[in-house]
Structure 1
C-alpha cells in the first residue's frame, strides 16, 4: 500500500491509501470529463525499492512548489524514505 499525499488545490494536505505497489500517474486516474487531475510529482522510495508515498500536485502548482511543500511537511523523514522527483 502506498500513501498518497496532495499538494495544492481543493484537497491540499489530504492523505489517502492507494492499493498496489505503484501509484497511478494521475489522481483520479479517469475523470471521464477531461477535468484537471492531480499529477504525480514525487515518490518516496525506501532502501529496498518499495514506494512508501506518492506526492500529487494540483494542475495549477509547479514542481518547485510541490518540492518545497513536501520538504516542509517532512514526508521523507515521516515515511523513512528518499524523495525522487517524477517527470
Structure 2
C-alpha cells in the first residue's frame, strides 16, 4: 500500500506502508502530543487497499479533497476511492 500526503512539511510525498489497513493517523504514535496527519481517503483495487491519503492537521477536509481530486490518485492507481469517516 502506498501512503500519500497532502499539505504540511511532507506535501506531495509518498511512502510504502505494510499491513492490510492503514492507521487513522500517521505517524501512529508520536508520543510528543503533536498533531498528526489524518487519513482522508483510501483507494481499493481488486479488494485490497492500493493507497491511503493523509492530510496535514492544519488543512480543512475540503482543501484535502480538492488536492486529492487535482492529483487524481484514483486514476493513477486504478482504484476506487473511498472517503474515510471520522
TM bracket (short chain): over 0.9
Other-structure match for 1:53:
51
TM superposition score normalised by structure 2: 0.94
Other-structure match for 2:38:
39
Query: Any unmatched runs of 5+ in structure 2?
Result: none
Q: How big is the shift at 1:62?
A: 1.3
- Matched residues in 1 for 2:44 and 2:62: separation? 19
Q: How big is the shift at 1:39?
A: 0.5
> Does residue 82 of structure 1 match 2:80?
yes
Q: Show the 5 A alignment for 1:17-28.
A: 17-28=16-27
More helix by share: 2
- Matched residues in 2 for 1:73 and 1:56: separation? 13
Query: Any unmatched runs of 5+ in structure 1?
Result: none
Q: Secondary structure at the match of 2:28?
A: coil
Other-structure match for 2:63:
65
TM superposition score normalised by structure 1: 0.93
Q: How many residues align?
A: 85
- Matched residues in 2 for 1:83 and 1:68: separation? 14
Structure 1 runs (4+) deviating above 6 angstroms are none
